[in-house]
Chains A and B, each alone.
Chain A
Amino acid sequence: MTGGSPPFLSIADASRLIAAKKLSPVELTRALLARIAAVDPQINAFLLVTERQALAAARAAERAIAAGRRGPLLGIPVGYKDIYETAGVRTTAHSRILAENVPEEDAETVRRLHAAGAVMLGKLATHEFAIGGPAFDLPWPPARNPWDVRRFTGGSSSGSGAAVAAGLVLGALGSDTGGSIRLPAAYCGIAGLKPTPGLVSRRGVIPLAPSLDTAGPMAWTAQDCAILLDALAGYDPSDPASVPGPFVSYASGLDAPLKGLRVGLLRRFYEHDVPGSPEVLQMMARAASTLRSLGCRVTEASLPSVQDYNAVGRVIISAEAYALHEATLKTRLSDFSRVFRVRVLAGALIRAADYIAAQRRRTDLIAETARVFERFDVLVAPPTAGAPPPLTEQRPDDGFSRPLLTTVANVAAIPSLVVCGGFTATGLPLGLEILGPAWGDAMVLRVGHQFEQAAGLRGRRPEL
């Protein structure tokens, strides 16, 4: 239990209350809609609130419960990053280019959550086409961090991170190509999972770089991410990368003891490759100690440098993103934000040979990473070098000039979970990243869940 009351409930707690008929989905939905009206103008997490549809879905969930149906997501309010297509509901990718885009079908992930009884509250802010960065020259303002509205949420699933942290939704969908689920999870003090590629369908999710794109859940706790993943995971023949994942319940195995688990501390990552702030170093020391107290064997591990993974990841992203958007860039260049143009246009100059070299090097990095998992069950590192920076300090070329710790998992094709690892002295959240071998999604969720329980950090919410 996270000990909250509406709207500050975890999915697990809300689900228990709903099942016990101590909380009605309509009551919960109304509470969250009221909070959105009161709080969202400060943080801009929503691009569109679908109040009428939400109440209709909540009433339908209530009828289903009265008829005897049960399910962990039945009547649970959620939001979708605005690159997830939603039938009959505007899907903009936070861009002028798609300002009038109304899809005819739901993304497969949206369909799965709706089938499980989840209630969509609306569409959430992103960076333009999931790459742009916070921009002030678009029709909608960038999301702001609920812990300090002057600060960056991380991106690109910026609205998803802000909305979950602020208690506007209990769960959200994000997408992650270089860290876009895990960076906002870290900066907003929530949990976010980048699953193993192929585990969660991407059909109906507006792509950024299909070689690296993954769709995944974001929520207050690792347990909530597991509950969402139980509904999201599964084979989808309409996503060419989709494969039948392991048959496991991600939520039911979370409490299996961690005794003897081999945890690798990626110390060089945060002491040398992307030096962490003193508070991040302290957080990592505390996290290692917490994991030891859970029975884990924590020793130092080493992967190729963060810069190696980033060079490959950024070249692939730039080339593929440019290819996807070239036609629109030719005709509507000025309709994109400056940040988007800076981050994508350079892709026009990448030679095919350089792109292929990046893909070939990626196969090496996948192999080198996999070999490390012969000696470790999970690896841990901070996802960011420090606390969320001021929003105004974000540079258009940040995606190139500053290597991201999170890109390692995208390039290596492995699952990675970020949970809240601690707080700075000024009350800003710091993330902890847990990386597992391919198809080790259940393992990283289990470690994340038990770390959260032991660290006792889930009772603290931003004050808005």
Chain B
Amino acid sequence: MAAQPATTVPMISPAEMQILISRAGLVLNPGQMADLVLAWRQVAGLIAAIPQGRKLTDDMALTFRLPPPAGATSASRAADKQTRAEVDGGSVRRTGQAARTAPRKPAPKSARSAAAGPALKAATARSPKTAASRARKPATKNTAAAAHTTAAKAAAAKSSARAKVKLKAPTRRPASRRR
């Protein structure tokens, strides 16, 4: 999909920056503040280079997928797989089903979390899904209302160029040989 033109990022004056930093709970000395002003100029330039204008219906980047309900049967999973195959125009993506349904190990008791504070611990536990995992999802993942029929799913998939975002499904490893 062609990128929309980039927009201008509002400039932040050093005084405004000081307020924002204080609100974040940080206390910077004058030297650190000067470093931040220089760094922010660079970051603001990067932000300005990113297109921001998009259609409201054209955002599937920040979505998530719940694991199947506990009672889901293999038959329903097979039906789901079939539906996805249709949505993808016959290209069956790896569903990552095992990844979502496998029981998680208890989170390792990490000394780093304790040392680096609760923010790091929480962020580690909630690691966002990568683009790889997003790309595996069907194109209709955030249009739940449209998901009732296969036809609606297919139409929604067609309407979005981002439906083309695919990581080709690797050959599934036989369960007995998975590492």
Q: Is the CB of A397 within 8 A of B42?
A: yes
B112:A85 contact, CB within 8 angstroms: yes
Q: Are B62 and A413 in contact (CB under 8 A)?
A: no
Q: Say if the beta carbon of B151 comes within 8 Å of chain A.
A: no
Q: A318 with B43: in contact, given A198-B133, A245-B170, A333-B28 (CB under 8 Å)? A: yes
What is the distance, in angstroms, from B98's C-beta to the closest C-beta of chain A?
6
B168 & A438 in contact (Cβ 8 Å cutoff): yes
- For B26, B54, B115, B136, which residue has the most chain A Cβ atoms within 10 angstroms? B115
Closest B residue to A396 by CB, please name it: B35
Q: Is A323 an interface residue (CB 8 A)?
A: yes
- Given the known interface contacts A97-B115, A239-B127, A324-B123, the answer about A244 and B35 at a Cβ–Cβ threshold of 8 Å is no
A348 and B26 contact, CB distance less than 8 A: yes
A196 to B168: give the CA distance in the assembly, Å: 11
Which of B61, B94, B166 is most buried by chain A, counting CB atoms within 10 A of its CB?
B61
The answer to whether A204 touches B108, judged by C-beta atoms less than 8 angstroms apart, is yes
Instruction: List the A residue with the shortest CB-CB distance to B59.
Output: A360
Chain A residues with Cβ below 8 Å from B78 are none
Chain-B contact segment, one of A30-38, A147-155, A230-238, A454-462: A230-238
- Tell me the smallest distance from the CB of B170 to a CB of chain A, in Å: 3
Chain A residues numbered 237-266 whose CB sits less than 8 Å from any CB in chain B: 237-248
Whether B146 sits at the interface, judged by CB under 8 Å, is no
A357-B96 contact in complex given A246-B170, A350-B43, A367-B164, C-beta closer than 8 Å: no
B131 pairs with A345, CB closer than 8 A: no
- Total A-B Cβ pairs within 8 A: 266
Known contacts being A364-B162, A400-B46, A438-B167, is A345 close to B36, with CB within 8 Å? yes
Contact B50 A312 (CB under 8 A): yes
Cα separation A124 to B178 with both chains bound (whole Å)? 30
Task: Let me know if B49 is at the binding interface, CB within 8 A.
Answer: yes
- Taking CB atoms and an 8 Å cut-off, the chain A residues in 329-375 that contact chain B are 329-331, 333, 338, 341-343, 345-350, 353-354, 356-364, 366-368, 370-371
- Assembled-state Cα–Cα distance A222/B133 (Å): 27
Give the 7 A-B CB pairs with smallest separation, nearest first: A246-B170, A327-B117, A234-B179, A400-B42, A247-B173, A438-B167, A327-B119
Residues of B bordering A, CB below 8 Å: 1, 3, 9, 12, 17, 20-21, 24-28, 32, 35-36, 38-40, 42-43, 45-47, 49-52, 54, 59-62, 94, 96, 98-99, 102-105, 107-112, 115-120, 123-124, 127-136, 161-162, 164-174, 177-179
Residue pairs across A and B with Cβ atoms less than 8 A apart, 18 shown, are: A97-B116, A206-B112, A207-B127, A241-B133, A244-B173, A248-B171, A333-B27, A333-B32, A345-B28, A345-B39, A348-B24, A357-B51, A360-B62, A363-B61, A363-B134, A363-B162, A413-B132, A439-B167
